[in-house]
């Protein structure tokens, strides 16, 4: 807008309407530019206004007129002040953004901390990618811990964005981290997560319409032996297991509602399903942001094929290379948050026996 006004002023000075006094209009352009354009944009707008004023004085032979020098002096003072203020505002905004980033990183460390690289006989890695530019956390969640019952993991996706989604994710994760250590039944673990989500919605004072639309798809998994992995899937994308170089989806056999939509269900809310998971297998838990990632042609990311093509020795290397393929497919433009947990059997624990923690070690 400041440059458009400067061009209008130049047009007036070059037209038969040059008798119209444009000094006040041009003087206001540097402060206007300082609001949004930064120091360099403000300096460019000031230079344009000075150029129009000088051009007008030359064309109309006004040099020597006190009014011309008064206009130039006023414009110069306003320009210097505008550039200075713009630079101060830029430094202040950068400082504020640095503070926000530090707070966001601290919140991420608490809410979405990386999983341990070693969980009993399993090697593990995690990754979180926020779709919103500059965001550190969003509506996806994950966790993996070693308990007296085995290695237990959760991955979930909150409907919606913003602070309500972060609060819902925190409620579900908090319930999982607490109950995972003392509830033997995996279905009871996810039932506690659903109860925590209901309490969060009630405490936040959400209206009935928002509560009806607020839900979390979630999957909890447990590895407690050398040959089996157990799942309770509440409306979440099926995990993938890489067995002898081929990726296979694991269920669910019976669909169940997401957390928060229990009123729509007929029958049990949580059913535990078991699948083979033997030493040498590799397991990926993920959110739908991976499956729904599209390229410019509208094609979905081929997750199964990408898993089969990735060659990596460790879980972290595997996720890093899968991440590279995902970013390449989307052109570094994700439409949804992405969370993934990847585990495999540790080479030095080929027996697959999961150490059982003593009760005192399993306390939260």
Query: Mean pLDDT lowest for which of 32-41, 148-157, 255-264, 294-303?
Result: 32-41
The torsion angle over the Cα atoms of residues 296, 302, 305 and 310, rounded to 10 degrees, is 70
Structural domain includes residue 364: no
Domain boundary among 103, 136, 155: 103
- Whether residue 156 is found in the same domain as residue 14: no
What integer pLDDT is reported at residue 175 of this predicted model? 94
Query: Mean pLDDT lowest for which of 56-60, 95-99, 169-173?
Result: 56-60
Total domains in the chain come to 2
pTM of the model: 0.71
What integer pLDDT is reported at residue 360 of this predicted model? 39
Domain boundary among 72, 103, 134: 103
Overall average pLDDT of the 184-211 stretch: 81
CA neighbor of 87 nearest in space, from 39, 37, 30: 39
Query: Mean pLDDT lowest for which of 36-40, 95-99, 226-230, 355-359?
Result: 355-359
Domain boundary among 46, 78, 103: 103
Query: Mean pLDDT lowest for which of 57-61, 93-97, 311-315?
Result: 57-61
- Whether residue 237 is found in the same domain as residue 330: yes
Integer Cα distance of 122 and 47 in angstroms = 64
Q: Which tokens belong to 313?
A: 């020795």
Please write the tens of the pLDDT for every residue from 251-306: 888 888 899 887 766 666 678 899 999 988 999 999 998 998 888 888 999 999 99
Structural domain includes residue 233: yes
Contact, 151 vs 343, CB < 8 A? yes
- Whether residue 34 is found in the same domain as residue 148: no
For the four alpha carbons of 169, 171, 176 and 177, in that order, the dihedral sign comes to positive
Cis omega (within 30 of 0) for bond into 280: no
Buried b (16+ CB within 10 A) or exposed e, 200-223: bbeeeeeeeeeeeebbbbbbbbbb
Contact, 277 vs 228, CB < 8 A? yes
What integer pLDDT is reported at residue 340 of this predicted model? 94
Position 248 confidence tier, pLDDT thresholds 50, 70, 90? very high
- Whether residue 173 is found in the same domain as residue 310: yes
What percentage of the chain exceeds 70 in pLDDT? 67
Integer Cα distance of 202 and 266 in angstroms = 24
Overall average pLDDT of the 10-36 stretch: 59
CB-neighbour burial class of residue 143 (10 A; exposed 0-12, middle 13-18, buried 19+): buried
CA neighbor of 296 nearest in space, from 339, 331, 252, 342: 331
Greater model confidence, 307 or 111: 307
Integer Cα distance of 160 and 152 in angstroms = 26
Which position has the token pair 């919140």?
107
Structural domain includes residue 169: yes
30: domain range?
Answer: 2-103
Structural domain includes residue 108: no
- Whether residue 197 is found in the same domain as residue 131: yes
What integer pLDDT is reported at residue 362 of this predicted model? 39
Overall average pLDDT of the 207-217 stretch: 67
Task: State the chain's mean pLDDT as an integer.
Answer: 79
- Whether residue 50 is found in the same domain as residue 139: no
Count the residues in the chain. 364
The torsion angle over the Cα atoms of residues 183, 188, 194 and 196, rounded to 10 degrees, is -30
Overall average pLDDT of the 209-215 stretch: 62
Contact, 127 vs 323, CB < 8 A? yes
């Amino acid at each position: 807008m400041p440059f458009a006004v400067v061009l209008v002023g130049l047009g007036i000075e070059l037209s038969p309407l040059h008798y119209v006094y444009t000094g006040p209009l041009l003087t206001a352009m540097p402060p206007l530019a300082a609001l949004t354009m930064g120091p360099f944009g403000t300096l460019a707008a000031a230079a344009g206004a000075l150029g129009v004023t000088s051009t007008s004085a030359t064309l109309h032979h006004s040099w020597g007129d006190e009014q011309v020098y008064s206009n130039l002096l006023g414009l110069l003072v306003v320009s210097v002040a505008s550039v200075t203020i713009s630079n101060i505002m830029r430094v202040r905004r950068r400082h504020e953004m640095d503070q926000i980033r530090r707070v966001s990183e601290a919140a991420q460390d608490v809410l979405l901390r990386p999983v341990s690289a070693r969980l009993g006989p399993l090697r593990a890695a995690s990754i979180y990618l926020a779709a919103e530019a500059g965001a550190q956390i969003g509506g996806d969640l994950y966790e993996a811990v070693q308990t007296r019952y085995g290695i237990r993991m959760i991955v979930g996706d909150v409907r919606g964005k913003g602070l309500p989604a972060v609060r819902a994710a925190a409620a579900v994760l908090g319930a999982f981290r607490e109950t995972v250590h003392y509830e033997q039944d995996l279905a009871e673990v996810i039932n506690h997560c659903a109860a925590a989500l209901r309490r969060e919605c009630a405490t936040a004072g959400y209206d009935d319409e928002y509560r009806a639309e607020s839900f979390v798809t979630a999957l909890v998994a447990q590895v407690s032996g050398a040959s089996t992995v157990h799942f309770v899937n509440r409306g979440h994308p099926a995990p993938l297991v890489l067995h002898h170089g081929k990726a296979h989806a694991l269920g669910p056999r019976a669909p169940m509602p997401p957390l928060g939509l229990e009123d729509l269900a007929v029958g049990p809310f949580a059913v535990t399903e078991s699948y083979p998971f033997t030493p040498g297998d590799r397991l990926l838990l993920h959110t739908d942001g991976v499956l729904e990632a599209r390229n410019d042609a509208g094609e979905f990311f081929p997750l199964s094929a990408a898993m089969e093509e990735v060659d990596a020795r460790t879980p972290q290397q595997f996720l890093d290379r899968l991440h590279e393929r995902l970013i390449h497919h989307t052109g570094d433009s994700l439409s949804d948050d992405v969370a993934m947990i990847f585990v495999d059997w540790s080479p030095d624990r080929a027996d697959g026996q999961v150490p059982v923690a003593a009760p005192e070690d399993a306390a939260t």
